[in-house]
Amino acid sequence: MKYTQSKDKLLSLIREGGKLDWIAQVKLTALLSFPSMMAQLVHIMMQYIDASMVGSLGAHASASIGLVSTSIWLFGSLCHAASVGFYVQVAHRIGANDFAGAREVLRQSFISCILFALVLGCIGVGISSYLPHWLGGGPDICHDASLYFMFFSMCLPFSMLNSLCAGMLRCSGNMHIPSMLNIGLCLLDVFFNWLLIFPTRTYFGITIPGAGLGVVGAVLGTAIAFIICSSLMCYFTVVRSKELSLRQDSGTFIPQLSTLRESFHISAPIAVEHVILCGAQIVSTIIVAPLGTIAIAANSFGITVEALCYMPGYGISDAATTLVGQSLGAGRRFLARSFGRITLGMGITFMTLMAVVMYTASPALLSIMTPDLDVQKLTVQILRIEAFAEPMFAASIVCYGIFVGARDTLIPCTMNLGSMWLVRIVLALLLVSSMGLQGVWIAMATELCFRGIIFLIRFSGNSWLKKIPK
């Protein structure tokens, strides 16, 4: 209760033109960032446990999921992009004290976003049997990879609902409900995976039921967890939220042209970016695939473990979007820049500390996640390469959240794409033949450093502050 009162009081100062000194700004940033960071860290633990469960089945099971992981990111990020176009509008309206207008945007977002997710899901189901072969997977992993991607695609509408409602709550200033529900999502995912992946077994004389579905059990467990969590997220948004509850007034759920136009203006660059960015990640998968099952599995584990570093950055980025969006909605550009500096400093500090943890703890983590010694050794090598890039990766993550809150998406998206394709992919193609998977990750680390530098250069200017709607 004290947390909520303190956070709401400080947020109201943004909307009402009150004075926020540096200490108050840091306090508000921490109040908004901490719940999201905790949720992200729990999400990391869920990924580790999931990876360990699947990894215990062998390298082939890990490789089958790793093969389609970049395609899963593509579909998931498109859902995220669609939701951003609506919840950034909500942040601006709340910053301008237009709560009724925020609820109008919320109503209109549901039909648009769910229909979009249904279309994506149908496309995913349709290509699921072909995708692993397109990505260069061998016959030993393609069957499980196809099933995994098919069930993931069927769950997309619930993933979209979770992303949309969580974003709406965060932009209203409510960070703890999305964080707590996403922590619950992680715990449910682990629980259902535990039941569905493994067969019935006995521990200390106690029989534990299990479905024994292997890789398919992993995706079904995640799907069930998303269905439960997204339903609760929707309830807290449309019924319980003080700012957004739709019981306070009435309005149309049919998307209006002005709302769709503004959403498209915000979302389209992000969506195009994700298509091309994930396309580059898929190309990276194709580059790695010929290196064999060990390399594919190590690449997959490396991506999972690296989340130890960057997930806290995404938590702070969420807070940056809310703080900058509400500040600019209230017409307070100086405050928006100040919040940008504070969130950047926090993001770089936290991700640097987590990079040190990853560098030192990766051998112990990998010994838990997979029994395959070759996979362990290769994954540790690539993670220690990546650790040096995390401070600049933090800069790009938090800057992006700042720019999204400012409605400035086109140029940052272009910067992401240029960096990925012209630096990472080119370097990976040059280095993979002589250095194998290590060369691919050297290319990744180099590109992340370059990306962080160019984002910091853009933040230091004023052009991103000019994107505020009239």
pLDDT of 51 strictly over 70: no
What confidence tens digit (pLDDT) does each residue in 253-306 have?
Answer: 998 999 999 898 888 887 877 777 777 777 887 888 888 888 888 888 888 788
> How much is the pLDDT for 141?
84
Range of the domain at 178: 2-467
**C-alpha span between 304 and 59 (Å, rounded):** 15
Is the CB of residue 386 less than 8 Å from the CB of residue 441? yes
What is the C-alpha to C-alpha distance for residues 243 and 237, in angstroms, rounded to an integer?
9
Query: Model confidence over 366-423: pLDDT tens digits?
Result: 888 788 889 899 999 999 999 999 999 999 999 999 998 888 888 998 898 889 889 9
Total domains present in the chain: 1
Residue 467: pLDDT band with limits 50, 70, 90: low
pLDDT value, residue 393: 94
Helix (H) or strand (E) holding 207: strand 206-211
Q: Which amino acid is at 155?
A: C
Residue 154: pLDDT over 90 = yes
pLDDT at residue number 470: 46
Q: Whose CA is closest to 401, among 450, 330, 346, 449?
A: 346
- Note the Cα 164 to chain centre separation in Å: 13
Q: Give the least confident one: 191-200, 431-440, 442-451.
A: 191-200
* Averaged pLDDT of the chain: 86
Q: At what angle do helices 293-329 and 333-369 cross, to 10 degrees?
A: 160
d(CA 99, CA 101): 5
Phi-psi category of residue 205: left, alpha or beta, with phi > 0 → left and psi -120 to 50 → alpha: left
Please give the pLDDT value at position 48.
62
- Between 33 and 49, where is the model more confident? 33
Among the residues of 370-389, which ranges form H helices?
373-386
- pLDDT at 106 exceeding the cut of 90: yes
- Average of pLDDT values for 200-228? 84
* Buried-exposed string 224-263: b where 16+ CB fall within 10 A, e elsewhere: bbbbbbbebbbebbbeebebbebeeeeeeeebeeebbebb
Distance, in Å, from the CA atom of 236 to the CA atom of 147, rounded to the nearest integer, reads: 33
- Range in 66-80, 358-372, 411-425 the model is least confident about: 66-80
CA 356, 357, 360, 363 torsion-angle sign: negative
Return the H-helix or E-strand segment holding 195.
helix 176-197
Q: Is the pLDDT of residue 157 over 70?
A: yes
Q: List the structure tokens of 314.
A: 């995404």
What is the tens place of the pLDDT at every residue in 13-38? 887 778 888 888 888 888 888 777 77
Residue 408 CA to residue 314 CA, distance in Å, equals 18
